[in-house]
Amino acid sequence: MLVTEVPNALPGGSSLLRNEPVQARSSARLSGLLDAAAAVIDEIGFERLTTAMVAERAGASIGTVYRYFPDRIAVVEALAIRNTQRLAEHFVTALSESGATTWQEACDALIDVTAEMYRTEPGFRAIRFGDAADTGTGDSEDRMAALGSTVAQILHERFGVPATERTARTWVVLAEASHAVFARAYRDPAAPDTGLVEEYRTMSRTHLEAVIASS
C-alpha cells in the first residue's frame, strides 16, 4: 500500500527534502508549504512556480522553504507525490463508504474519486499525480506504478481480479489514459466535460472485462 506521509514516499527515501519533518510542527509546516505551492500552481502553472512565491503565499521566509526543499522542482515533485497518496487514500475510503461488492463498482469509485480530485484538489489539475514536472528523474513512473499496484492489490484481494502480467499492463494503460482524458475534461473545473469521463468509464470497464475474461 502507499504510505501516507510525503517524506516516506519520496524516491530513495526522502532525497528531495533537505530535512525530514519528524515532529508534528515540522510536518504541519511542510504541509503548509505544499498547500501554498498548490495554490500558486493553480493560478500560474508549475512551470512558473518559484520558491519565493511559495514562501510569500505560505507567509514563511525563503529560508524556511530551503530548509525542506533544495529548489522549485523538489516542491513540485513532493506535491505530485502527495496528490498520488491522497488519491489512493480517498479511493480506499470511498470503497468502504460505498459498500462496493464488485470490481466494476470499485472501478466506478476510483473514477469518481479521481474526477472529484481534478475538480477540487488544489494543484491537482496542473500536475495531477503522474507528471514528472520536467525534472528528468523518472519519478512519475514510480508514482504511477505505486498507484497501479495499490489498486491492483485491492481489486485482487477484495474482488478476485486476476493478478497477472497482462492485468498489470492493463492498469498502466488505463492509468495513462485517465491521465489524458481527465486533464482534458477538467480544463475548466467550473464547467467540466463529464461526457469524456463517462466515455472513459465505459472504455475502461469494457477493456477490463475482456482482459479478466481471458485470464
pLDDT digits (tens, 9 = 90+) for 28-76: 899 999 999 999 999 998 889 999 999 999 999 999 999 999 999 999 9
Place of cell 481527465: 182
Domains in the chain, CATH or no CATH each: 6-214 (1.10.357.10)
pLDDT digits (tens, 9 = 90+) for 178-202: 888 998 999 888 899 999 999 999 9
Give CA–CA dist 24/153, Å, rounded: 31
User: Is residue 19 helix, strand or coil?
Assistant: coil
Helices (H) and strands (E) counted in the chain, each on its own, are 10, 0
Residue type for position 202: T
Q: Which long-range contacts (CB under 8 A, 24 or more apart) does 19-26 make?
A: 19/67, 19/68, 21/68
Locate all alpha helices (DSSP H) within 70-132, ordered by sequence. 72-98, 103-120, 124-127
The count of other CB atoms within 10 Å of the CB of residue 51 is 18
Give CA–CA dist 192/154, Å, rounded: 29
